[in-house]
Amino acid sequence: MCRICDISNAAARPDTSRRRFLQFAGGIAAGLALAPLAFAPSAFAKDTKPPPKPQNQMSPAAALDRLMKGNARYVEGVSRRHDFKSEREALVGGQNPFASILSCADSRIAPEYAFDSGRGDLFVCRVAGNFANDDTVASLEYGAAVLNSPLILVLGHDSCGAVDATIKSLKDNTTLPGHLPSLVNALAPAVKATKDQPGDLLANATRKNVIDVVAKLKSATPILSAAAAEGKIKIVGGIYRLDSGKVEMIG
pLDDT of residue 33: 34
Tell me if 119 sits within 8 A of 84, measured CB to CB.
yes
Given a cut of 80, whether residue 60 has pLDDT beyond it is: yes
Given a cut of 90, whether residue 72 has pLDDT beyond it is: yes
Average pLDDT for 210-229: 98
pLDDT tens digits, 157-178: 999 999 999 999 999 999 999 9
pLDDT of residue 90: 83
Q: For residues 70 and 245, what is the distance between their CA atoms, to the nearest angstrom?
A: 11
pLDDT of residue 46: 53
Given a cut of 80, whether residue 8 has pLDDT beyond it is: no
Residues in contact with 96: Cβ distance below 8 Å, sequence separation at least 6, in sequence order: 51, 52, 53, 56, 57, 120, 147, 148, 149
Residue type present at position 168: K
Instruction: Return the higher-pLDDT residue of 39 and 87.
Output: 87
Percentage of the chain exceeding pLDDT 90: 75
- What is the pTM (predicted TM-score) of this model? 0.82
Given a cut of 90, whether residue 11 has pLDDT beyond it is: no
Half-sphere exposure of residue 17: CA atoms within 13 angstroms, side-chain side? 21
pLDDT of residue 49: 80
Percentage of the chain exceeding pLDDT 70: 81
Residue type present at position 206: T
Q: For residues 21 and 31, what is the distance between their CA atoms, to the nearest angstrom?
A: 15
pLDDT of residue 50: 86
| Sign of the four-CA dihedral 174, 176, 181, 183 | negative
Given a cut of 80, whether residue 16 has pLDDT beyond it is: no
**Cα separations in angstroms, 109 against 65, 119, 126, 128:** 20, 17, 10, 11
pLDDT tens digits, 100-111: 999 999 999 999
- What is the side-by-side strand order in the sheet with 151-157? 122-126, 99-103, 151-157, 234-240, 247-250
Q: Which domains, and CATH codes, for the chain?
A: 56-250 (3.40.1050.10)
Tell me if 141 sits within 8 A of 223, measured CB to CB.
yes
pLDDT tens digits, 32-49: 333 333 334 454 555 568
Most confidently modeled range among 49-58, 78-87, 132-141: 132-141
Q: For residues 188 and 108, what is the distance between their CA atoms, to the nearest angstrom?
A: 23
